[in-house]
A and B are shown apart, each in its own frame.
Chain A
Amino acid sequence: MAKDRNTAKTPNQHEAPVASNELAPPASASPWSSKWRLILSIAVTVHMVAVFAEPFRFFTRSSQRSFSPDAGYIRSWLSAYIDFAYLHHGYFFFAPNPGPSHLISAQIGKVTPPNQPKEILIPDKTVQWPRLYYHRHFMLSEFLHNSFAPPEQPAEAINDPVIDQQWRRDRELYVAVKSSIENHFRISEKSEAVIVRRIEHALPNDIQVYRDKWKLNDPRLYIVLPESLAEQTPTLVNPPLAPVGSPVPLPMRNDSGAEVVEGGSP
C-alpha cells in the first residue's frame, strides 16, 4: 500500500535522504493564517527575484552593451535591497575560462647601489598564513587589477559624455585604490619610497611544463603590466623585478593558441 508522502513520522526513523517537505506534517498543520502566508509568499517571491536579478544582469553583459535593458530594469527596481543584503554577485566561478593570476609587487626604498630596494609580492604563500589570510591578500591584488583604468581618455569618450563620465569615475577609483595600497606599504614598511606594480602570472601550457620543464612559478611567466597605454606592452619580470621597458614578453596563449583570458575566481 502506498504511503502518504506528507504523513509525519517519528524523528528517530532511519530514512534515505529525502527533501525536507516529504517527512513533515501536512500543509494544513501550518499554524500560519492564509493572510500571513500570502504576505510571506509575496516576500519570498520578491526576494528570489532579487537573488536572480544580479547574476542575470551580469550574464547579459557583452562587448556591445554593459547589460541588457530588461535585466538592468529588474536590477534597478531592487537595487537598494540587492546591495544592502549583499546579493550583488555574478557567481562566475572560474568562468568563462580559468585565467591568469594578478599580483601586487611593491618596491620599498630607493635604488642606492650597492643596496637593492626591498621587493614584496602579494600574495605570498611563504609569508601569509593561514590559507584564508593568504587568500584575503590574493583577492586584494585581483581587486587592484580589476579596478585598473588607463590615464588616457578612451577615443569613444570624446563624443560620448556617458563613456567619458564612466572613464573618469573608473580612473578616480583606480587611483584611490592604488594610493591606499601604497600608503599602507609606506606605514607598514616605514619608507616613503614605495612603487606599486601590477603583475600578471600567466598560466603555462602542457608543452611548457612537460617538454620545456618550466616550473609553475617560472620567472618567465611573470609580467609587469603597463600603467598606461603609452607604455610598452607587458614586460617580463626577471627577479629582481625589472623596470617597465625592455624585454619582449612571452605571448600569453594556451595550448590551443588562443589568448589566455581572465577568469572569475570564487
Chain B
Amino acid sequence: MKPKVPNNSGRIATPDTQATWSANILSYVTDFSTAWNRFWFTPTFPHTLGVLRIATGAMLFYMHMVWGSDLLSFLGPDAWLTGDVIRLIHQGDYTWSYLNYIDSPPLLWAHHALMLMVALCFAVGFGTRITAPLAWFLNLMYCHRLTGHLFGLDQVMMLLLMYLMLAPCGSVYSVDAWLQRKRKRAGKSPSWWLPDATPSSATQVATRLMQLHLCVIYLFGGISKLRGEMWWDGSALWYALVNWEYQSIDAVWLGHYPTLLGALAHITIFWETFYCATVWPRFSRPWTLALAIAVHGGIAIGLGMITFGLMMIVVNLSFISPITMRAIVAKITRRPASE
C-alpha cells in the first residue's frame, strides 16, 4: 500500500498525484518557454520594417525641414523657450540634451544639416547600421530640447526610430541592399555594414516591441476616454469637430446627425480600448487595422494632423506580415518579389 501525504487542500495526495502535479507544472513552464521564444525570437523577414523605415525616414526629413524653416526661433539664443528655460523645466529629471547648451547659430545650422543628411540617408537606406541609431539619437536630442512644441507625432516617431534601429531595416528597399547585391555579383564576401535580407530574430524582437508598445498606447488612449462623459453621451466628436484650432475640413454639418456622431464616438472608445486584444487573432486583425486606418485617416484629414495620422497608420502596418508586405510592394512597383 502506498503512503498517503496530506496536501494543503486537506485532501490526501499520493506520490502519483504529486508526480502528475509536477509534470503539469513542468509542462506549463516548457510550453510557456516555447511560446515565449516563438513570440519573441522566431526569425522573420525584414520587409515590413523596410517599408516602415522609408516612411519614418521621409517623415523625419520633413519634420526637420519644418524645424529648419525657423530654426533659431525654436533652438536659437532667443528661441521661444531658451535652453536655460528647458534646463529649468527638466531640473531633477533625466531629460537631457546637449542642444540645451548650444546657442551659436552657425553650430546649430551645422548640426541641423547633419540631422537632415542622416534623415535622408535613413529614408533611402544608406549606411543604415550607422544612420538608424544616429537618427534615433539625434531626434531624441531634438525632442528633449524642444519641450513645449511637441505632440503625438514626436511620440510615435521616437517609437518607430527606437525599434527600427534594433533591426536590419536597411536590408531591403534600400541603397544598402543594392550595394550588397552589387558586392555579391562581383563575387565579394558580404559586408557586415550591409545587412542581409534574411530572416532574423532581431527583426522579430523589433517588430514585437513596436506592436506591444502600440497596444499600450491604445489601451491608455482608450481607458482615458472612459473617464470622460462626452465620450459616453456621444458629444465628444462634436466638440472635436468644432475646435477651430484643429479643424482643417469644415465637417460641422455632421452635427445634424447626432446618432452618427454618437456611434462613431462609441466605436472609437471600444476599438481603442480593446485594440490590444483584437489585433492579435487572425480573424479580427483586418477589422482592427481597418478601423485604425479610418480613425487616423479621419484625424489626418479632419483635424489637421496629417503627419500624426499618417504615422499612426504607418506604425499599425507593423502587424502586416513581411511576406504579405513583400508581395504588396512587388505588386505596386511591378517588380519581381525577389528584388
Contact = CB atoms under 8 A, between A and B. Distances in A.
A80 B96 CA distance: 10
Contacts of B324: 14-18
A55 B220 contact: yes
A93 B81 CA distance: 24
B336 to A, nearest CB: 8
A11 B41 contact: no
B129 interface: no
Interface string A178-198: 001101100110000000000
Nearest to B92: A169
A88 B93 CA distance: 11
B112 interface: no
Q: Which of A20, A27, A256, A263 lies at the interface centre, i.e. has the most chain B CB atoms within 10 A of its CB?
A: A20
Contacts of A85: 140, 162
A173 B217 contact: no
B17 interface: no
A187 B231 CA distance: 44
Contacts of B209: 44, 47-48
Task: Rank and list the top 8 A-B pairs by shortest CB-CB distance, nearest first.
Answer: A96-B228, A266-B152, A12-B337, A83-B94, A95-B224, A55-B220, A97-B228, A96-B227
Contacts of A210: 255-256
Contacts of B255: 206, 209-210
B162 A254 contact: no
Given A184-B78, A255-B235, 18 more contacts: A6-B38, A9-B323, A13-B323, A14-B327, A15-B323, A18-B282, A22-B282, A24-B44, A27-B38, A79-B94, A85-B162, A93-B152, A103-B245, A204-B242, A206-B255, A209-B252, A216-B243, A265-B246
Interface of B is mostly: helix
A158 interface: no
B47 A11 contact: yes
B20 interface: no
A89 interface: yes
Given A24-B199, A86-B158, A139 B285 contact: no
A114 interface: no
Interface in A98-152: 98-101, 103, 123, 130-140, 143-144
B55 interface: no
Interface stretch (B21-29, B141-149, B178-186): B141-149
A31 B201 contact: yes
Interface string B281-309: 01001100100000000010000111110
Interface in A215-248: 216-217
Contact of A203 (B148, B212, B242, B305): B242
Given A24-B204, A176-B88, A135 B236 contact: no
A59 interface: yes
Contact of B235 (A19, A134, A256): A256
B148 A206 contact: no
Interface in B291-339: 299, 304-308, 319-324, 326-327, 330, 336-338
B11 to A, nearest CB: 36
B10 to A, nearest CB: 34
Given A51-B212, A140-B148, A11 B45 contact: yes
Interface residues on A, range: 35 or more
A13 B224 contact: no
Given A91-B217, A95-B224, A206-B255, A13 B243 contact: no
B212 A254 contact: no
Nearest to B322: A20
B242 A216 contact: yes
A90 B225 CA distance: 12
Interface of B: 34, 36-45, 47-48, 62-63, 66-67, 69-70, 73-74, 78-82, 84-85, 88-89, 93-96, 140, 143-144, 147-155, 158, 162, 199-201, 204-205, 207-209, 212-213, 216-217, 220-221, 223-225, 227-231, 233, 235-236, 238-240, 242-248, 252, 255-256, 280, 282, 285-286, 289, 299, 304-308, 319-324, 326-327, 330, 336-338
A45 to B, nearest CB: 10
Given A93-B221, A206-B238, A254-B230, A23 B40 contact: no
Nearest to B306: A131
Contacts of A27: 34, 37-38, 41-42
A133 B70 contact: yes
Contact of B93 (A79, A139, A256): A79
23 contacts: A19-B282, A24-B322, A25-B42, A27-B41, A29-B199, A31-B201, A37-B41, A48-B213, A91-B216, A93-B152, A93-B224, A94-B225, A97-B230, A97-B231, A98-B239, A101-B245, A133-B70, A136-B74, A137-B149, A140-B148, A177-B89, A177-B148, A265-B152
B40 A19 contact: no
A20 B207 contact: yes
A11 B198 CA distance: 11
B224 A136 contact: no
Q: Which of B34, B209, B231, B243 lies at the interface centre, i.e. has the most chain A CB atoms within 10 A of its CB?
A: B243
A266 B151 contact: yes
Nearest to A40: B205
